Amino acid sequence: ETPPVSANKSQVGHAMGASSALETIFAMEGMLGDVLLPTINYLPDPEINIDCVAEGARKLSQEFVLKNAFGFGGCNSCLILRRIA
């Protein structure tokens, strides 16, 4: 099963140094609200099998979220968040 993918940069633009913090907040709020927000203006590539959340928000209970941040100059990081009830 392909995990769903969402990108909130399409909603808020590039916030430069604050981008990763904003993405983390979106990820945590999504976990707490059991929802994945959509990626707006997404054009699918039929040759790539990605479950992109693009047709509106999707209801989904999430125990884990993987958040990637790829910055200018090679500053890259990945963060796995876990829901604790």
CATH architecture group of domain 4-82: 3-Layer(aba) Sandwich (3.40)
Rounded Cα–Cα distance for residues 21 and 24 (Å) = 5
pTM reported for the whole predicted model:
0.80
Amino acid at 76: N
Q: Where are the domains of the chain?
A: 4-82
* DSSP summary character for residue 32: H
Query: Which run of H or of E encompasses 30?
Result: helix 19-33
Q: What is the pLDDT of residues 31-80, one digit of tens each?
A: 999 999 999 999 999 999 999 999 999 999 999 999 998 888 888 999 99
Rounded Cα–Cα distance for residues 43 and 46 (Å) = 10
**At a CB cut-off of 8 Å and minimum separation 6, what does 25 contact?**
none
